[in-house]
Structure 1
Amino acid sequence: MLKVGIYGGSFDPIHNGHLITAQAVKEMRELDKIIFVPSYISPHKQDTETSDVEHRINMVQLAIKQIPFFEMSDVEIKRKAVSYTVDTLKELSERYKHIELIIGYDNIFKFHTWRQPDEIIRLAKLVVLRRKLNIPRGKQNKFYRAAAFVKSPFIQISGSVIRRRVSENLPINFMVPEKVQEYILKNKLYKG
């Protein structure tokens, strides 16, 4: 039985922090593969403008092309609407029986606000990227207690910093894979 990790995000652009984190989770959780799921519109970022979905898909594909245990799913893109994790997991659970959902540390404390959080943890094991070691007991909820925590590498790269640097004509070497950097420059992304 394949064990897969689901790693969702806007990936605008996908960067080396995403890739390093995904590889670390794959190894620590002994997963067979990580599936990157670019969102069409994230429910938590509906007011945030993102790049054209085609560009984001192309960048993810370029970034993971040579890595056999990474793949991409366009399940959320095909919906052409706000992407809810629960719907994505329902669809992917038809194909995979062992799913682990990778989320950032900050998300565990607001997870109760996600659509159908109880159904999400029924469909997938929560894997939380943890940076802090001690969490006050008062902040621990049932979702926290149901999650597996993975000490993730701390890579201080963000899509917003990359977009800003490109718009200011600053280099983004070592922040994104070389093919992604070439794609960004060729397509004049993030030039404002």
Structure 2
Amino acid sequence: MSFRNSRKKVGLYGGTFDPIHTIHLIVAEQARDALEIDEIWFLPARIPPHKQTKQITADIHRVEMIARAIAGHSDFRLDTIELEREPELPSYTYDTVHILKERHPDIDFYFIIGGDMAAYLPKWHRIDELILMVQFVALARPGYVMDNPYMRHVIETEMPQLDVSSSMIRKKIAQGRSIRYLVPEAVRMYIEEKRLYEA
């Protein structure tokens, strides 16, 4: 099946990326390839609604790590739209998509989420409006069931489930253990240089 049309197609990939790791890049590339998307925009969040009580690494470091991670991919780009918000406001996907559609009326946007986040779609801020504004794409491991009323609006595509997370990487660094190959080498070197996540 081809998903091609004449309008530019951009995948939006949001998250704290604290730090960005290899699986983030694999997810982005798999979505880009499966849906024939022209570009993937990485959107680092300032205060995700589900993480408002958690400590998040400074924006400047997360942005730099993303920039280094995607530097070699011509179809990946960094967009700091969510970092332009007032510091005390959470990053709602509805607000981000609304602004991006106003700025880029000639682009069709696809919002990339994992299967775990798809399960929470009924709780997303202004989801009934959001689901009509952007095409959601959910990546899940084979056999994973995403069952809620909003899934009929979501394109589902499978990808192998690889058990790597930012929290696991932070824990390994705090324990003085290797993260080589779990993050791009440029990101690993930046983490070491800035001594991020050390205990």
Question: The TM-score by the shorter chain falls in which range?
Answer: over 0.9
**One-letter amino acid of the counterpart of residue 86, structure 1:** Y
Is 1:162 the equivalent of 2:144? no
Comparing 61-70 with 141-150, which one deviates more in the overlay? 141-150
- Say if 2:142 and 2:159, in contact at 8 Å, map to a contact too: no
Structure 1: which 5+ residue stretches go unaligned? none
Q: Which runs of 5 or more structure 2 residues have no equivalent in the other structure?
A: 1-6
Tell me if 1:78 matches 2:108: no
- Equivalences for 1:53-72 in 2 at 5 Å? 53-72=59-78
Alignment of 1:113-192 (within 5 A): 113-133=123-143, 135=145, 140-192=147-199
Q: SS of the counterpart of 2:43? A: strand
For the 8 Å contact 1:20–1:153, the answer to whether it is kept is no
The residue type paired with residue 68 of structure 2 is L
CA distance in 2, matches of 1:133, 1:119: 29
Shift of residue 132, structure 1, vs aligned partner: 4.0
Query: Is 1:26 aligned to residue 32 of structure 2?
Result: yes
Return 47-56 or 92-101, whichever deviates more.
92-101
Contact 2:12 2:40 in 1 (8 A): yes
Taking the aligned partners of 2:76 and 2:144, their CA distance within structure 1 comes to: 31
Residue 87 (structure 1) shift: 0.4
Quote the sequence identity (%).
Answer: 35
CA deviations on 1:100-136 (whole Å, 9 max, x unpaired) are 111111222221111000121111111001114263x
CA RMSD of aligned residues (A): 1.3
Q: Secondary structure at the match of 2:51?
A: coil
**Structure 1: which amino acid aligns with 2:174?**
S
SS state at 1:44 partner: helix
Q: Check conservation: 1:5, 1:31, Cα contact below 8 A.
A: yes
Which aligned segments of 4 or more residues in structure 1 are displaced greater than 6 angstroms? none
Q: Provide the C-alpha distance between the structure 1 equivalents of 2:131 and 2:8, rounded to a whole number of angstroms.
A: 18
Q: Secondary structure at the match of 1:25?
A: helix
Letter of the 2:90 partner, please give it: V
In the TM superposition, residue 140 of structure 1 has moved relative to its aligned partner by: 3.0
Listed one character per residue, the Cα deviations across residues 13-63 of structure 1 (whole Å, up to 9, x for unaligned) are 000000011001100011001000000010011111111111001000010
Residue in 2 that maps onto 1:105: 115
1:38 aligns with 2:44: yes
